[in-house]
Structure 1
Amino acid sequence: MTLAAAQADAATAKREAAGALPDGTAVEAITLIAKGGVEARILTYGATLQALRGPDRNGKVADVVLGYDDARDYASHPNYFGVTVGRYANRIGGGRFTLDGKTYQLPLNDKVNSLHGGTKGFDKQPWRVVSVKDGSVTLALTSADGDQGYPGKLDVTVTYAMSDDGALTIIFGASTDKPTLVNMTNHAIFNLAGEGSPRDAMGHRLTIPARAITPVDANLIPTGELRPVADTVFDFQSGRVVGDGLRDGRDPQIVMGHGYDHNFALDKGLTTAPGLAARLEDPVSGRVLEVSTTEPGVQLYTGNFLDGTFIGKSKHVYRMGDGIALEPQKFPDSPNKPAFASARVDPGKPYRHVMIYKLSVAK
């Protein structure tokens, strides 16, 4: 779905104050409300999807993304809940890459890696509201040349647009004044039973149309190969319950990732229009999430590092398995893996990634 299509049947947008960060910076919230009962609430801090609400098969509405009630907690206790991540989503090994013969060093905020743009990525900055109209909001951010070690002044936008069929389209755009890297995504963590449900998300059924993953080393950096998923716990091609393979210690990849924390190479590859990346269903509530993207990969993450120290919405304590992230993206560490699709962006050739979260109820 294009932005124009999303706007054509979109519902309404409501803009309101949402408190302030610990340093006093004001935060706004924009709620996109579809006639079909799905609502999305976006914060200007981190261009964050704070809430996504939808009905179950009995019409009971619940918020299906993990996060915080108070906007200031996203700054005080960051954990990537629903945020926009960039410049580079996922990991870059050693925090280093070479572009046009010059080597760049990034902050190491994930042991020996740079993760999700560094210590102060796009998720940890206030964004500007460009427009609120037709059931959509556009936010903007300027990233200076050298920000977090990346070259080039980058002008970034994120548009969230809601349609009445429950589809939330997210469009990332960026333009640069010198060659750089860009790989942006949304990092929502889902529990379709409801974020505070006593049922975790490991009973959800997941389908991913991917015949291969990019296996990782002990530092969770791709080895560079594409490994077939057939006859492994990574085979979600026909759908399987997530928890069935989560603790299968016979697979070294599960041991290294502390569960699923892996990129799937989508069969569709890099496309101009969004194609299906994943389908997640909670058989009890009947809620279904379909994730579509123009990007070639999707990272499956089962909340492995939620350890009970994160107190989320309504004072719920989040633990491993309480949610599932499905992050459309270029492959991790692609700047250091020439065989992977390039994340390079040049002047005059803007970056664009279109992804969709579609929330519905199974028939």
Structure 2
Amino acid sequence: MKLLCAVLLCTTSTAIAHASVTHSTFGKLPNGAAVEIYTLKNPSVEMRVMTYGARVVSLATKDRDGKMGNVVLGYDKIEGYLKDSSSYFGSVPGRYANRIALGKFTLEGKQYQIPINNAPNALHGGPDGFASRNWTGKEIPEGVEFTLVSPDGDQGFPGTMTAHVRYTLAGNTVRIVYSATTDKPTVVNLTNHSYFNLAGAGNGTILDEKLTIDADKFTPIDATSIPLGNLAPVAGTPFDFTKPETVGSRIDVDNEQLKHGKGYDHNFVLRGKAGVLRPAAKVYDAKSGRVLTVETSEPGVQFYSGNFLDGSLIGPGGVKYVKRSALCLETQHYPDSPNRPDFPSTELKPGQTYHSETTWTFSN
């Protein structure tokens, strides 16, 4: 009996491979500040994340033959990120990920103006948002925690807000935990903006990948990508991913919403109770056999099909990131929520703690 217990204990303890964490300098910013990069590694996954933008730089997983390959878009030097102000590769945008109509919102009777950087709207917190800040990093068990203090008035947002993002790796699952506090009422919406291509970064388009999204409704948008305010059923539309559907099978059909987004660039209303970790999406690539399963505590996920990639951005090895060569599954609150009282609230008050979790699980 003692021998059996010992064997069972050993089996349980080795079932999930523990991740090692190392870090080094990735480069320097124009002001001379050092950018640190952290590597989280176990036999299943190797992920590199850096302080600049709290970004995922690379994420390698196994294909069906056991070969490791990077499945996210990015650059091999800090200079690539500094030159690229439009893609947000791997970053944590903020304070407000996604769009705010005309860059304006009213909170407790006072109107605030965020700089317009996606005319006529504000996108991802403005032109100098969290994606272009050098966060402070520290090692934690099986991962890294990034911290950023955003002062009162930063990009027009009220209150001094302290944000934390934790990346940890356990077995084949990456867990991202976001938290934030403030000293004045403010709004917050954090996400990760990684671009996935499960066949390998720069290896063709994602049009043949199969996608499932656990959402019966989505938020239709106007021509400037701001929600109209209603929640529309996906049934009978090109937005129905309740069963696995090939990304490219309906992306170019004659549909007003697809025209507005130049493809898919829409928020999907996830099933279940927000605040509880639950299924959000799944992607399958037949060429590599890789599967990505996404779970989140957020009420929505923004599915973006890489419509504005045009081959002008060059990745490692000279690979061009062409149109629709990756997709994003940005778990978050809905766009323009500060102006939509009927949407789940993004307000954060003093004494409260913003908390959000998302997991990426890889299999083949």
TM-score for the superposition, normalised by structure 2: 0.94
1:120 matched to 2:124? The reply is no
Q: Share of identical aligned residues, percent?
A: 45
1:222 matched to 2:227? The reply is yes
The answer to whether the 8 A contact 1:22-1:76 is kept is no
1:186 matched to 2:192? The reply is yes
Q: Which has the larger radius of gyration?
A: 2
Select which of 218, 236, 251 maps to 1:246: 251
RMSD: 1.1
Select which of 305, 308, 311 maps to 1:308: 311
Q: How many angstroms apart in 2 are the aligned matches of 1:156 and 1:295? A: 17
User: AA paired with 2:108?
Assistant: D
Select which of 199, 203, 206 maps to 1:201: 206
User: AA paired with 1:134?
Assistant: P
1:283 matched to 2:281? The reply is no
Counterpart position of 2:354: 351
Select which of 30, 50, 53 maps to 2:57: 50
Q: How many angstroms apart in 2 are the aligned matches of 1:86 and 1:353? A: 14
Q: How many angstroms apart in 1 are the aligned matches of 2:317 and 2:148? A: 30
Cα-to-partner distance string for 1:128-175 (whole Å, 9 max, x where unaligned): 11x3132110110100000000000001111000001x1110111100
The answer to whether the 8 A contact 2:198-2:288 is kept is yes
Q: How many angstroms apart in 2 are the aligned matches of 1:192 and 1:26? A: 31
Counterpart position of 1:257: 261
User: AA paired with 2:28?
Assistant: A
Counterpart position of 1:266: 270
User: Which aligned pairs between 1:1-363 and structure 2 lie closer than 5 A?
Assistant: 10-35=18-43, 37-78=44-85, 79-129=87-137, 131-164=138-171, 166-197=172-203, 199-248=204-253, 250-271=254-275, 273-361=276-364
Q: How many angstroms apart in 2 are the aligned matches of 1:34 and 1:59? A: 14
Cα-to-partner distance string for 1:53-88 (whole Å, 9 max, x where unaligned): 001000111100011111232122232000011100
Measured after TM superposition, the shift of residue 289 of structure 1 is: 0.6
Q: How many angstroms apart in 2 are the aligned matches of 1:360 and 1:313? A: 25
User: AA paired with 2:134?
Assistant: P
Counterpart position of 1:4: none
Instruction: Show structure 2 runs of 5+ residues with no match.
Output: 1-15
The answer to whether the 8 A contact 1:293-1:356 is kept is yes
Measured after TM superposition, the shift of residue 320 of structure 1 is: 1.3
Q: How many angstroms apart in 2 are the aligned matches of 1:349 and 1:10? A: 33
Measured after TM superposition, the shift of residue 251 of structure 1 is: 1.0
The answer to whether the 8 A contact 1:92-1:115 is kept is yes
User: AA paired with 1:171?
Assistant: V
User: AA paired with 1:207?
Assistant: T
Q: How many angstroms apart in 1 are the aligned matches of 2:77 and 2:141? A: 26
Q: How many angstroms apart in 1 are the aligned matches of 2:79 and 2:354? A: 30
Measured after TM superposition, the shift of residue 292 of structure 1 is: 1.0
- Secondary structure class of the residue paired with 1:94: helix
- Secondary structure class of the residue paired with 1:86: coil
Cα-to-partner distance string for 1:285-312 (whole Å, 9 max, x where unaligned): 1101111110000000011111122112
- Secondary structure class of the residue paired with 2:189: coil
The answer to whether the 8 A contact 2:17-2:42 is kept is no
Q: How many angstroms apart in 2 are the aligned matches of 1:340 and 1:296? A: 10
Q: How many angstroms apart in 2 are the aligned matches of 1:176 and 1:336? A: 20
Measured after TM superposition, the shift of residue 9 of structure 1 is: 5.7
The answer to whether the 8 A contact 1:215-1:222 is kept is yes
Instruction: Show structure 1 runs of 5+ residues with no match.
Output: 1-7
User: AA paired with 2:223?
Assistant: A
The answer to whether the 8 A contact 1:64-1:194 is kept is yes
Aligned length: 348
